[in-house]
Chain A
Amino acid sequence: MKKIIFNPIILSLTLAVLFANCGQRKNVGSVVEGNAAEQAYVAPGEYDEFYAFMSGGFSGQITAYGLPSGRLLREIPVFSMYPENGFGYSEETKGFFQTSYGVVPWDDSHHIELSQTDGEFDGRWLFVNGNNTPRIARIDLTTFETVEILEIPDVAGLHCAPFVTENSEYLVSGTRFSVPIPQKDVSISSFKENFKGLINYVSIDQKSGEMNLAFQISVPGFNYDLARNGKGKSHGWSFLTTYNSEQAYTLLEVNASQKDKDLLAIVNWKKAEEYLKAGKGKERKTSYYHNFMDEATGIVTPEEKTSTTILDPKDCPGMIYFIPVPKSPHGCDVDPTGEYIVGNGKLSADMSIYSFDKLMAAIESKNFAGDIDGIPILNYEAGIYGILQKPGLGPLHTEFDGKGNAYTTFFISSEVVKWNVEKLEILDRQSTFYSPGHLVIPGGETRKPYGKYLVAMNKITKDRYLPTGPELAHSAQLFDISGDKMKLILDFPTKGEPHYAQSIPASKIQPNSKKFYPIEKNTHPYAAKGEGQAKVVREGNVVHVYMTTIRSHLAPDNIEGFKVGDEVYFHVTNLEQDWDVPHGFAMQGANNAELLVMPGQTRTLKWEPKKVGVFAYYCTDFCSALHQEMSGYARVSPRNSDVKLVWGLNNENQDEETLREMLKKKSK
């Protein structure tokens, strides 16, 4: 039986590889129909109907696109330092990259989750996971800025993250690679004995959005891949797929695909909350970082946390169950009613659709086939609503249109398939170019999908665009799904590797978008809130420059008295209070990056002058007709020089003595 299932998959994999390698172009003319261009066209000056937020994969960032135009609106730096605007280089934002491993300046961002209220996207926050050094980030959607990064302890490859519950109570995640917990020096071959998994629940403060690791559930050492939370009737439950229930630790490609089925974990998190309240959790010493940006100062303060609360299923009956799911699943997806849970068994020929009611009945009647480490395993048949037979090869991800239909990507057969959930009937299939991973429908994983569009995020580009050497941008493809048949209307290249995206009506974000930071509310300790506060202060070899910017000058723009060996901090406050007037700051020879300072913000660049001379600094963002004039000079003298510290603008130089005189006059 096993062999029969296995062989066609090997065959189709081989075919897929052959196809991908032969470089033969499909006939695109026959795919795109008449008015496709019109449907994706957003006229100059008009706005898109939806925002689509795509993860960046190995870029570590997020990109925001408009739909249906496919316009790139902005790249939001999250897990990777970004010299383009100083993210991670400025003194304020350095703290984002602190982890229990030290500074980790990069990550692999995978899954986008928009915050929800009553099972619908509410446009408050955006969450994304860092896969490599396990972290979850929060982006404030009023500013499109990363405002918080929380490390998750004792897990590895936080792929299975960060899945939000329907009122944003929690972000659920699971370890992709099981590891020794706590970490220790053991033989890899002792996997079964020493390697464990964790399912993590991060709570979200509903007012501030602040994340907190509420508890972790210890689970067997499998690979936890993807998850979804229940909605409506199934709210309060989480569903996580696992692969490698074989617990292989080498050549997983073969050894983790031996069994006919892996396991779907079903977690009753409301029950877990009760156990937590009842004191069933055990504190364990660990180390992880919580890096939170204060809104008024814009400063990130990394804080090490040293304890986590573990719930052990053995002490908490009824908290977690397993049910078999066909072969190496890549996630499971819950339909808008909360009743149907679609298992995407990527190496299975069929797709299993579970019924929430049947799962609950099976739990109620203890219809178990055994247990693993005290976790009951439900009988597969007891939870199954039905099987979608032979929909395609390599099902990866499913979303919904709110009209009873599901749309699934098939990696191996390179297509999107539309099917009716209740009838288990295939309605349409369209090729993608080539090999899609995830797909996204606006609101497609919520209780109220908007339908209308579908974007397939393809893993392989090949000949789709003009060649750019060996490395190609990943391709996205937009389908109109408003009719019976899906219609391809647009291709567009993306940044990094979008593993997942979520899309939300623009009307939920646009009205709340901030245009600037009110300078009155800036409480940065080194802010110069007005040009009169611009000054230079020496404390030993540390020099603080309180600098202001406004169209089109920097104040001060002449500074003398720096010395070789100084540690200089340029604290640049942008005095502008208008939309779209950032000023940049670049210092010749600075060994870090530039700053882009938004109106009303203060950002700090460190500079350690190493050479004697006079060095230029300037604004890097073309701000006005006199932008080229927006510049200044810094004079650096030898280490033991007695050149006095003076600074100024327009030959009104000030020094410490003059300043003292002025203060005396003021106090009189």
Chain B
Amino acid sequence: MKKINFVLVAFAIIGFLQSCGGNPDSQEKTTVPPVTETPKASPNGIGEVETVTLTDPMEESMIVSGKAIYEMKCAACHKLTDQRVVGPGWAGVTNRRRPEWVMNMITNVDVMLEKDPVAQKLLEECLTRMPNQAVSVGDARAILEFMRKNDMETIGEKDGATK
């Protein structure tokens, strides 16, 4: 009970603070999300990415550029292990989330945090809104490929969420 209250308060604070600034399109209606009501979740998340075709073997060139973007724009908050720092560690992410969800989270983060129940649950855990890092859909696809590679290296298994 204590924990729920804390989360509620934290949400209220975040909601209040975020409504002061940021992207007006996505945040103008930010209020305290009702914890009990769970909107129907789409495993693909919300955004322009509707289907992703995964290839095997993986695309080496995308892994290289995905890694570079990761190091510049993502590594400050996401480790490649399963350790959560600011955001969740990436190890095994493609086994937990569908590729469409991952890419929508990267490219449409403000809407995802407002409407997607899985993203909202992560915000409850991490308490820091994932920033919009101005990543194009093409670059998000490269990051996804790098995540798949990372999953093979850390967990030994990838794409579990699509199976």
Give residues in A with beta carbon < 8 Å to B: 516, 518-520, 529-533, 548, 550-553, 555, 575-581, 622, 624-626, 650
Contact = CB atoms under 8 A, between A and B. Distances in A.
A576 B134 CA distance: 9
B29 to A, nearest CB: 12
Interface string B120-138: 0000000111011111000
B13 interface: yes
Contacts of B17: 622, 624-625
Given A532-B71, A578-B23, A551 B85 contact: no
Contacts of A519: 72-73
B133 A577 contact: yes
Contacts of B128: 551-552, 624-626
Given A578-B134, A579-B23, A625 B75 contact: no
Given A551-B131, A626-B127, A530 B71 contact: yes
Nearest to B130: A551
11 contacts: A519-B72, A529-B72, A530-B75, A532-B71, A548-B76, A551-B128, A578-B133, A579-B22, A580-B21, A580-B22, A625-B10
Contact of A575 (B14, B73, B129, B132): B73
A518 B134 contact: yes
A327 to B, nearest CB: 54
B139 to A, nearest CB: 10
Contacts of B127: 625-626
A143 B127 CA distance: 31
B23 A575 contact: no
Nearest to B109: A578
Interface string B1-45: 000000000100110010001110000000000000000000000
B125 to A, nearest CB: 14
A550 B72 contact: no
Complex A-B, nearest 9 residue pairs according to Cβ-Cβ distance, in ascending order: A577-B134, A531-B76, A530-B72, A578-B132, A530-B71, A550-B76, A577-B133, A625-B14, A529-B72
Contacts of B86: 550-553
Contact of B76 (A530, A622, A624, A625): A530
B-side interface size class = 20 to 34
A462 to B, nearest CB: 37
A622 to B, nearest CB: 8
A335 B123 CA distance: 60
Interface in B68-98: 71-73, 75-77, 85-86
B134 to A, nearest CB: 4
Interface of B: 10, 13-14, 17, 21-23, 71-73, 75-77, 85-86, 127-129, 131-135
B155 to A, nearest CB: 22
Nearest to A548: B76
Contact of A555 (B73, B76, B129): B76
Given A520-B72, A548-B76, 5 more contacts: A530-B72, A551-B129, A575-B73, A578-B134, A624-B129
Given A577-B133, A625-B17, A531 B85 contact: no
Contacts of A580: 21-23
A555 B86 CA distance: 13
Nearest to A624: B128
B77 to A, nearest CB: 7
A580 B23 CA distance: 8
A553 B132 contact: no
B9 to A, nearest CB: 11
A550 B131 contact: yes
A580 B77 CA distance: 19
A533 B70 CA distance: 12
Nearest to A519: B72
B134 A516 contact: yes
A532 B77 CA distance: 11
B118 to A, nearest CB: 20
Contacts of B21: 580
Given A625-B10, A625-B14, A650-B85, A576 B72 contact: no
Residue from the set A516, A520, A548 with the largest chain B CB neighbour count within 10 Å: A520
B106 to A, nearest CB: 11
Nearest to B135: A577
Contacts of A548: 76
Given A530-B75, A550-B76, A581 B14 contact: no
B133 A531 contact: no
A577 B140 CA distance: 14
Contact of B13 (A530, A551, A625): A625
A168 B21 CA distance: 37
Contacts of A518: 134
A108 to B, nearest CB: 34
